[in-house]
Structure 1
Amino acid sequence: MEKTTAKKPTKIDKRKKIIDAYKNYVLEHGKSPASVFKFTKELKMKEADFYAFFSSFTAVKRAVWQKIFQVTLSTLESQEIYKQYSSREKLLAFFYTWIEELKHNRSYLLVLYGTHQLPSHTLPQELQGFRDDFKEYVKGVLAEGEENDEIAKRPYLSDKYDEGLWLQVLFVFRFWIKDHSDGFEKTDEAIEKSVNLAFDLMGKSALDTFVDFAKFLYQAR
């Protein structure tokens, strides 16, 4: 008589379950849940299980933003051609890939940000983690650009480039969330023009050349 081995119960990823359930709730109700107690009760989950992973619904939203960024970066880094790109091309690739990932979450994002938009004066708490992750990533892109002279090193200004590009992220998102063009082609155009402008401004300009020449003349006296 053959022995039958009992199947081990499938381990449930509670963190993912909470995130997916939160997104579904927002999509179905057009707003965040009223309370963690009611939310977990509907999930047939203990309230303590929620707080084992998240301190609030804001923390859940933060996790969604960071996951979108992580998937975007993983997609880029899995492509051999990406490693050969210039800094300008890497940032363009980032934005195009990020938008593709945002599309998978558009309905969810429209509920939360489609009507009221992101405030221009304060950064919502749920974006803070994404902001930190992006700035860490883009600092590497900028460092490569400075090494190959694609980006000019400027006292005081160079240290602010990452913050300037973060503002560009917010600009692109705001543009995309209200873009109704076919295939979001207007967003693609906005990305191309804004990234090219950013790198033209960060690159060596005629003013930099003039300053270098003036320094040369002064030192050659």
Structure 2
Amino acid sequence: MAKKTKITDSDIIDFYMDYVVKHHCKPESIEDFAKNYKFDDVVFYEYFTSFSDLEKTIYNLLFENSLALQKQNPEYISYSKKEKLLSLYFTFFENLGLNEDFVKHNLKGLENQLKALSTFSLLKTSFTTFIDELNLETISLNVDLIENIQQKAIKESAWIQFLFILKFWLDDTSESHEKTDILIEKSINTGIELIDTKSFYNIIDLAKFLYKEKVQ
């Protein structure tokens, strides 16, 4: 059978996700992968340098598509910072759910090493850019160096929080990942409260939820 022509990067992404879901593992090689989907392996290298590069692109696209979907909503511009965070998180994890078979097979065995995964390097860049755009306020100390450090701390803390929720989602067996939705809301509430008011009420609420889940 003749090889397919006019293969796009989207086609390759679809082929790869399909392969991982069907075989529960990565292809042995780019050559075998291309042969399996009847296209020239040279085309793969027109878009990606490796399977790792492809995976980075997939997770970043899931995030970028989630953000783009939110910004299409005419009401998005009037959302508060908290509402923008919540909306993006819910949409992103909904998109993960739509691709759950791929994500869980692709990340299998790496659940406890999420912080070290280079797989999320592009996603992290997009995520921290989004946090930057929100312009979350820090405590005004009138010292540029300290305020710059605070901004960096906010981005890194938000990223760690994001990875924490992702890890929770991977382990969440509740119907429609309802417990992840609860964690998202409580985590965002806590983060915003820490920045804006230093209130400990939401910290206690979050701690109670996590303790309950741990005990169960």
Q: Which of the five TM-score ranges fits, normalised by the shorter chain? A: 0.7 to 0.9
> In structure 2, which of residues 45, 57, 62 is the aligned counterpart of residue 63 of structure 1?
57
SS at match of 1:157: helix
Q: Give how far 1:115 is off.
A: 4.4
Normalization by structure 1: what TM-score?
A: 0.80
Could you give the per-residue CA deviations for residues 30-81 of structure 1, whole angstroms, max 9, x where no partner exists?
1001111111112222121111111000111111101101110111101122
Distance change >3 Å, CA 139–CA 153, structure 1 → 2: farther
Distance change >3 Å, CA 111–CA 153, structure 1 → 2: farther
**Are the counterparts in 1 of residues 7 and 43 from structure 2 also a CA contact under 8 Å?**
no
What are the equivalent positions in structure 2 for 1:180-191 lying under 5 Å apart? 180-191=173-184
> In structure 2, which of residues 167, 183, 193 is the aligned counterpart of residue 200 of structure 1?
193
- Are 2:137 and 1:172 aligned? no
> Aligned AA for 1:172?
I
Q: Identify the residue that residue 159 of structure 1 maps to in structure 2.
A: 152
Q: Give how far 1:97 is off.
A: 0.9
> In structure 1, which of residues 76, 83, 100 is the aligned counterpart of residue 94 of structure 2?
100
Q: Say what the alpha-carbon RMSD is for the aligned residues.
A: 1.9
Q: Identify the residue that residue 105 of structure 2 maps to in structure 1.
A: 111
Distance change >3 Å, CA 205–CA 14, structure 1 → 2: closer
Q: Identify the residue that residue 3 of structure 1 maps to in structure 2.
A: none
> In structure 2, which of residues 37, 47, 51 is the aligned counterpart of residue 53 of structure 1?
47
**Are the counterparts in 2 of residues 68 and 102 from structure 1 also a CA contact under 8 Å?**
yes
CA distance in 1, matches of 2:115, 2:15: 31
Q: Any unmatched runs of 5+ in structure 2?
A: 200-216
Q: Identify the residue that residue 16 of structure 2 maps to in structure 1.
A: 22
Q: Give how far 1:116 is off.
A: 3.6
Higher helix share: 2
> Aligned AA for 1:77?
K
Could you give the per-residue CA deviations for residues 114-134 of structure 1, whole angstroms, max 9, x where no partner exists?
444150551x22210010011
CA distance in 1, matches of 2:176, 2:104: 16
- Are 2:133 and 1:140 aligned? yes
Q: How many matched pairs?
A: 190
Q: Identify the residue that residue 210 of structure 2 maps to in structure 1.
A: none
Normalization by structure 2: what TM-score?
A: 0.82
Fraction of identical pairs, as percent: 27
> Aligned AA for 1:202?
I
